[in-house]
Chains A and B, each alone.
Chain A
Amino acid sequence: MKRISAGLAVALGFAGLLWADSPLSINGAGATFPNPIYSKWFDEYHKKFSTIQINYQSQGSGAGIKQVTEGTVDFGASDGPMNEEQLKAYQDKHGSGILHFPTVLGAVVPTYNIPSVSAELNFTPEALAGIFLGKITKWNDPAIADVNKGVTLPAEDIVVVHRADGSGTTYCWTDYLSKVSEEWKTKVGKGTSVNWPVGLGGKGNEGVTGTLKNTPDSIGYVELIYAESNKIPYGNVKNAAGVFVKASLASVTAAAAGAAKEMPDDFRVSITNAPGKAVYPISTFTWLLIPEKFTDSAKRDAIKGFLKWALADGQSYAEALSYAKLPKEVVAKEVKAINKIQ
């Protein structure tokens, strides 16, 4: 009986799609890193306001920027802010601007798989840049060994693993390396996908994690959540103040604190290599990309409503999913910025 009624419900649902007074659909696309919290938010929000359904497809930060610029989705999402060129492209196409709204914070961590080492490793910025440039090729290289006294590092070749797809994780990682290494900046640069000097590509955080697990003596980078949920070791990174810090909600929040005070009006701020002793240096905001002008006022109001909710009630979902909450100052500033959406 239950089955029959469920079947009926499906049939009615199908029919309903064709004729019913349907809820407002809003479509978005972009970063994969905040997808766990975004899909949670949109699900909760739909439960609360059944007349609004926000469909988010996590296809990568590049897709978020591209599709919102093309106007094929109502909003985008990215782990790296849009650059000047991309902003100009948007302006040229739409005659109005696009706004960045930080939603939560995350960290990118260097993960490794060295069968003979169980200790937690320390990495200097120079060592990380050297490894990913292909200049440091052995695990027992002095650049690594000198800051890991007491750990016997093998004389094995380092296998570098990186993301193969366009990703905000890569943006954050290469943004950091560009800040700490002049050579990286000129040779490789920062972006959602770069031309890697060395290494193997894995698709998504999952692909990198999988490749790491199966490749002895490898190093890679993933979002903190992936390292934690897959129980793979990740290293401490020396921050701008010279302290080796482990990525955690606290050290990521600390990274945001400085930026919170000097947040620019467009919220496009990089918090990699931020000053402060407790700061984890490879941290980042993740942004929603919202058009300044909407032609559909119902959509505009729905998105504004959602943003207000995400900045208030929504923040309480963050820590359970390993994201750091936004600092209060940033939230206050964003709430004001919501009024810019027309």
Chain B
Amino acid sequence: MSARLRWRKFVSGFMLTMTGVCAFVAVSALFLILGYLVYHGGISISWNFFTKLPVPVGETGGGMANAIVGSGKLLLLATLFGVPIGFLGAIYLAEFSGGTTAFIVRYAADLLNGVPSIVVGIFAYAVAVLPFKHFSTLAGGFALGLMMIPITLRSTEEFLRSVPKELREGAMALGASKWKTIATVIVPAAYRGILTAILLAFARVAGETAPLLFTAFGNEFWSQGWNQPTASLPAKIYAYALSPYDDWHRQAWAGGLVLLGLILVINIVARGILSRGISVSRT
């Protein structure tokens, strides 16, 4: 009996240790990825990377300035398209609707959220490229914005719903109309959460490559205006990583470091905003 108990205790200790090992392995993956990128990207990155245009195939030098600006433009468009729909749609869900309509909207958003990014690319190619006869920054922004909608919508709705009932009722009791209550009480009360949701959606699409291949296409020069194809950081990394040139491999690493750095910083900031919000509301 005591031998058996000892055995059981041993199994318990062993298995629990193993779970710790699993957690360690999973978390260390992040640091390995970061380490590789900081190492390879760090030795490859230079001021030229941020300021120069790409050079012709096989020549050394140049940078990804147009891809960085291109990504900025794409993300700006995506935010302008995706956030209003997600945010206002969420207000409708949380404040105005009930029953079937809400169910359908939520269902559509969940469905959209699960669509693989490559399928979003097909869709954007079919409705935003082919009919207009050219690849464009706008089409790329549309594809990325479409992916931002469901994330923004569902998280915003949740944060709106979590606003305490007392606040709502208090405002109404003072005679404020419903939309005034929403605009002056509910949204401000939930704004940290909403901001976090938007930032996370932004970070999520910032690294997307697949939907851009058929929409924003690529550009070796500065993209002129919004109606022309544009280079983007993820698509450039993809192309350069598969090329046979060492200098482009180096630039792919540098691009990877910049992209990952940007995304991780946005994530950390977003979570910082949220946790500070919680601690403030506790005090």
Direct contact of A and B (CB under 8 A): yes
Q: Which A residues form the contact surface with B (CB < 8 A)? A: 3, 6-7, 9-10, 13-14, 17-18, 22-23, 25, 27, 29, 35-36, 39-40, 42-43, 46, 53, 55-58, 70-73, 203-207, 209, 226, 229-230, 321
Whether the pair B130, A72 counts as a contact (CB closer than 8 A) is: yes
Interface assignment of B123: CB less than 8 Å from any CB of chain A: no
Q: List 30 A-B contacts (CB under 8 A).
A: A6-B51, A9-B51, A10-B51, A10-B69, A14-B72, A17-B69, A17-B224, A18-B225, A22-B224, A25-B223, A25-B228, A35-B57, A36-B57, A36-B58, A42-B56, A42-B220, A43-B55, A53-B221, A53-B222, A55-B221, A55-B229, A56-B220, A57-B218, A58-B57, A70-B130, A71-B133, A72-B130, A206-B244, A226-B244, A321-B58
Interface assignment of B253: CB less than 8 Å from any CB of chain A: no
Q: Which B residues form the contact surface with A (CB < 8 A)? A: 47, 50-51, 55-58, 65, 69, 72-73, 129-130, 133-135, 217-225, 228-229, 242-244
**Complex alpha-carbon distance, A62 and B56, angstroms:** 22
Q: A71: which B residues are within 8 A, CB to CB?
A: 133-134
Q: A205: which B residues are within 8 A, CB to CB?
A: 244
**Complex alpha-carbon distance, A40 and B62, angstroms:** 13
Q: B220: which A residues are within 8 A, CB to CB?
A: 39, 42-43, 55-57
Whether the pair B56, A13 counts as a contact (CB closer than 8 A) is: no
Interface SS majority for chain A: helix
Whether the pair B228, A204 counts as a contact (CB closer than 8 A) is: no
Q: B57: which A residues are within 8 A, CB to CB?
A: 35-36, 39-40, 58
The listed residue (B69, B72, B130, B229) touching A27 by CB distance below 8 A is: B229
Q: A10-B65, A43-B56 are in contact. Are A27 and B134 (CB under 8 A)?
A: yes
Whether the pair B55, A57 counts as a contact (CB closer than 8 A) is: no
Can you add 7 more A-B contacts, CB < 8 Å, to A17-B69, A17-B73, A25-B223? A10-B50, A17-B222, A27-B217, A53-B222, A203-B242, A204-B244, A229-B244
Q: A22: which B residues are within 8 A, CB to CB?
A: 224-225
Q: B47: which A residues are within 8 A, CB to CB?
A: 3, 6
**Complex alpha-carbon distance, A13 and B51, angstroms:** 10
**Complex alpha-carbon distance, A205 and B223, angstroms:** 28
Whether the pair A206, B243 counts as a contact (CB closer than 8 A) is: yes
Whether the pair A27, B228 counts as a contact (CB closer than 8 A) is: yes
Whether the pair B228, A209 counts as a contact (CB closer than 8 A) is: no
Whether the pair A27, B135 counts as a contact (CB closer than 8 A) is: yes
Q: A17-B69, A36-B56 are in contact. Are A25 and B224 (CB under 8 A)?
A: yes
Whether the pair A46, B225 counts as a contact (CB closer than 8 A) is: no
**Complex alpha-carbon distance, A53 and B220, angstroms:** 9
The listed residue (B129, B228, B244) touching A230 by CB distance below 8 A is: B244
Whether the pair B69, A13 counts as a contact (CB closer than 8 A) is: yes
The smallest C-beta distance from B150 to any residue of chain A, in angstroms, reads 28
Q: Which partner residue on chain B sits nearest A53 by CB separation?
A: B221
Q: B55: which A residues are within 8 A, CB to CB?
A: 43
**Complex alpha-carbon distance, A23 and B222, angstroms:** 10
